Amino acid sequence: MQTPEPLYPDPDPLTRPPGAARPVPRVGGSAFAWGERLASLSGLVLAISAFTDWYAGQQGDGLVLSVIGWHTGALGKLVFFIGLAVLALVALREAGIDLPASVPESLVLIALGSLATIFVLIRLISIPDTFFGTAGRGIGIFISLAAALAMIASGLLRAAEEL
């Protein structure tokens, strides 16, 4: 059995200045994996936030109503499925299945995050007519917006890791 050779052969220790550190290769499991961690976290939060209250308000007789993102129409459902798509992308990468080299994962994350941000902003600005009685925005829509923006940030971090 042959012993493994070091990745970077150590130059002659006599010519290296004392106290100089050896070059260390960058490994994926260290602090450089922030993009992947943020992608999985933001995908999970985005998928779950579709089931939190996006609109909340009080009716005239003291009844408090809350509308979850899933019930706001197609955009709420699309936000959920974008979160699931990001989770599937991360799971496939963990399983060893990568995207083709012509489609970088960071670009896919940025595109999905931008799409989710646009969908959430549409629902943040324009309340559907059927829910106009619950005119207040709930905390869930702001959580969805933060998760969509975090997804864009994870794509940018992944692009920096790929360089």
Handedness of CA 77, 78, 79, 83 (dihedral sign): positive
How do the domains of the chain map onto residue ranges? 34-49+74-125+141-162
Whole-number pLDDT of residue 147:
96
pLDDT tens per residue across span 34-79: 888 899 999 999 999 999 998 888 777 778 788 888 988 899 999 9
pLDDT tens per residue across span 9-18: 555 555 656 5
pLDDT tens per residue across span 98-114: 888 888 899 999 999 99
Instruction: Answer for the pair 148, 111: CB distance below 8 angstroms, yes or no.
Output: no
Whole-number pLDDT of residue 67:
86
Whole-number pLDDT of residue 131:
67
* Number of helical H runs and strand E runs in the chain: 4, 3
Q: Which residues pair with 158 in a beta bridge?
A: none
Residue-averaged pLDDT of the chain = 83
Percent of all residues in the chain with a pLDDT value above 90, rounded to a whole number = 44
